[in-house]
Structure 1
Amino acid sequence: MDRRSFIKKAGLAGAGAAAATTLAAPAIAQSSTDMVIVSTWPRDFPGLGLPAQRLSARITELTDGRVNVQYFAAGERVGAFDSFDEVASGNAQAYIGADYYWIGKHAGWAAFTAIPFGLTATEIDAWCKYAGGQELWDELGDEFGIQPMAAGNTGVQMGGWFNKEINSADDLKGLKMRIPGQGGQVLTKLGASTVSLPGGQIYENLVSGAIDATEWVGPFNDYFLKLYEAAKFYYWPGMHEPGAQLTLGANKSWFTSLSKNDQEIIKAACTEENQRTLAETNANNGAYLNRLINEHGVELKEFNDDVYAAFGSAAQEVLEESKAHSDLAARIMTSVEKARAEIGAWTSISDMAYVQKRNKVLGMN
């Protein structure tokens, strides 16, 4: 082959390669998919709203835009408590929220956020990952076409904000309190009148007197909701959410239509945010508790043993009623009890025992 023929053929090959490159770009762009995420949290809200936005952005980032997330906070596309149906119906691809909001659909959902006297953050993480929890969660999700993934945790929550002191279980009778999930069912058994309000509606209801008390999360989250403006008694510890796990629930048909790689990326993003939210909350709660007390005159109160005993009796009744809902609910709650006994036994002689002795020796009690 002479030099001219070689150059001519090489030029044609180069032109062909360039054309192929030109054609390939739109094909890649067309392979991206939109992922609408609806949330139960207000926009730009520290502690819950911002992590949900962070996770949404992270999914787009890690998939190099193959999964293009459009995030809608509570009320921007649908109401907070409508997000589950929006995803189950396929109108949105995922929700971010707390699964105990859906106990009206199935009692089993409560266990995957928190149940009274249930699992701490490290315990629920262990249960889901290594003690059968995720398999049961997947089975429950399949009934509604949802693929659930752990995507955050608040740690142990505070007992709530009250406009009067709670010195006995009788003080709960007639109390109007915002508290969702099984925690609300416990308070109802003790004579309170409970409602489940989304976060964006709590402040106005507490200020107006429509409710007498509320729980939200803890000092970091509660500070920005300004609950201290409406109630001064801040009780601890919360029995209702000892380690509230948050969820990204994806429409399963949509989720399984993705490549295995992108499915795993979304799961990894959720795992990352699960740890980040807990770390962020724990890093901030102490500082914001000091601000609530020192800057806003909040009175920190501990539930006494008699009140906690009443909580415990009512919680056991609620647990048994949840088991009676269905075979799956019974298997879920029984699995939680097993994890509480076995994983909890280690917690009692590890983290809990160490912290108690450390604080005693250092005079931190």
Structure 2
Amino acid sequence: MDRRSALKHAGLAGVLAAGVAPAAHAQSAIRWRIASSFPKSLDTIYGAAEVFAQKVKALSSGKFEVSVHAAGELMPAFGVVDGVQQGTVEAAHTAPYYFFGKDETFAIGGAIPFGLNSRQMSAWTFEGNGLKLMREFYAQYNMVNFACGNTGAQMGGWMRKEVKSAADFKGLKFRIGGFAGRVLERMGGVPQNIPGGEIYQALEKGTIDAAEWIGPYDDLKLGFHKVAPFYYYPGWWEGGLQLDLYINNKAYAALSAENKAIVESAAAEAHVVTQAKYDARNPGALKQLVAQGAKLRPFPADLMTAAFKQSMALYDELSGKNPNWKKVYADYARFRSDQNLWFRFTEATFDRFMQSQKL
């Protein structure tokens, strides 16, 4: 009997004795790479992808491993969607609105001016039509999306000079995240889309007049208060920035049902943990910033009103010329209306009372 015939009739014991691994043992472990749009120094927003990777490894008993790579390590911060779409990497972790230049609809998946807050965004994504609609949209880019973090409401950013009215936005060179720049332009400003790791130098050199990033915890790490002392609020363009994990369609389809469930669970954990980190760490960081000279200022009322009107006008225009936007935004806007009605009687009233108390 030749070797092939012997192996055919030997069963598992014979195969192992012959030194030939069965098919199940021959399969190698899964190894994925995530390209992040964020610098490694920001343990909160970059850290969301790390939380995801750690959970995937734990749930798979080490059989599914994901490595996370900071912006610039594998590709530029704003090149990660191309990387996933083309299959250069299996996944990316990013802020969807960075890619509004491809299609404005990307921004709805992250945050748009005067949009949903973080809780409302999660509600639209998981219990409304958000996930369904955004997945239909992202399929055009060979990607599957998972919500993977939220910053909560953000600050309005750092200004080298005071902003006393809407007129002060005219000519202002403002680093602002993605899509909100469209509104800034309509108000006479000059938007600059610069990755987080490059903002400080641009402010220091006077290349830009103002910049927003996220909020106190990250802003303190980046040191913006040293070069632009006026710290404005609120970030009306980001009531709650939802971060996304984008996965290449083929890479996702190749996963077993069990591994798909692991990906879903790990992304959900990263989604919750990320905002918990921001909510826990921002208060102390804000105190430190003020102690170090940051000057807190609310945006003037006329600026807020002008920004709101310009935002709504922009959305109407986009609905008239971008079918993708029209389809997703119509559902988003209906959901936002109902959410604001509900929050008006509950969350907002409770929050206003609690914030007026001396605790």
Structure 1 length-normalised TM: 0.91
Change in 2 beyond 3 A, CA 1:27/1:164: same
Root-mean-square deviation (CA, aligned residues, Å) is 2.0
Displacement of 1:35 after TM fit?
0.8
Displacement of 1:67 after TM fit?
2.2
Displacement of 1:54 after TM fit?
2.5
Code of the residue aligned with 2:214 in structure 1: it is V
Cα shift readout 1:101-129 (whole Å, capped 9, x = no counterpart): 11111111101100000000000000011
- Partner residue of 1:288? 285
Cα shift readout 1:152-208 (whole Å, capped 9, x = no counterpart): 000000011001111111101111011123311111111111111111111111111
| 1:316 equivalent in alignment to 2:331 | no
Secondary structure class of the residue paired with 1:96 = strand
Displacement of 1:338 after TM fit?
0.6
> Conserved in 2, the CA contact under 8 Å of 1:114 and 1:243?
yes
In the TM superposition, structure 1's runs of 4+ consecutive aligned residues that sit over 3 Å from their partners are: 20-29
Code of the residue aligned with 1:200 in structure 2: it is G
> Conserved in 2, the CA contact under 8 Å of 1:46 and 1:224?
no
- Partner residue of 2:322? 326
Distance in 2, matches of 1:253 and 1:124, equals 28
Distance in 1, matches of 2:139 and 2:100, equals 15
Picking from 41, 45, 61, the partner of 2:42 is 45
| 1:219 equivalent in alignment to 2:216 | yes
Code of the residue aligned with 1:363 in structure 2: it is K
Cα shift readout 1:208-245 (whole Å, capped 9, x = no counterpart): 11111011000011111111111000001110000100
Aligned length: 350
Cα shift readout 1:129-149 (whole Å, capped 9, x = no counterpart): 111010111001111110011
Secondary structure class of the residue paired with 1:275 = helix
Displacement of 1:29 after TM fit?
6.0
Picking from 111, 114, 122, the partner of 1:114 is 111
Secondary structure class of the residue paired with 2:33 = strand
> Conserved in 2, the CA contact under 8 Å of 1:117 and 1:239?
yes
Picking from 225, 229, 240, the partner of 1:232 is 229
Which range moves more in the overlay, 340-349 or 77-86?
340-349
Distance in 1, matches of 2:240 and 2:154, equals 7
Picking from 123, 131, 134, the partner of 2:120 is 123
Code of the residue aligned with 2:358 in structure 1: it is G
Distance in 1, matches of 2:350 and 2:288, equals 27
> Conserved in 2, the CA contact under 8 Å of 1:39 and 1:80?
yes
Change in 2 beyond 3 A, CA 1:211/1:24: same
Cα shift readout 1:228-285 (whole Å, capped 9, x = no counterpart): 1110000011100001000100001110110011011101101111000001100111
Alignment of 1:293-312 (within 5 A): 293-294=290-291, 296-312=292-308
Change in 2 beyond 3 A, CA 1:320/1:30: same
| 1:348 equivalent in alignment to 2:313 | no
Percent identity over paired residues: 33
- Partner residue of 1:172? 169
Secondary structure class of the residue paired with 2:141 = coil
| 1:162 equivalent in alignment to 2:149 | no
List gaps (5 residues or longer) in structure 1: 1-12
> Conserved in 2, the CA contact under 8 Å of 1:115 and 1:181?
no
List gaps (5 residues or longer) in structure 2: 1-9
Change in 2 beyond 3 A, CA 1:263/1:14: closer
- Partner residue of 1:10? none
Distance in 1, matches of 2:235 and 2:315, equals 17
Structure 2 length-normalised TM: 0.93
Change in 2 beyond 3 A, CA 1:22/1:129: farther
> Conserved in 2, the CA contact under 8 Å of 1:182 and 1:318?
no
Distance in 1, matches of 2:17 and 2:85, equals 40
- Partner residue of 2:179? 182
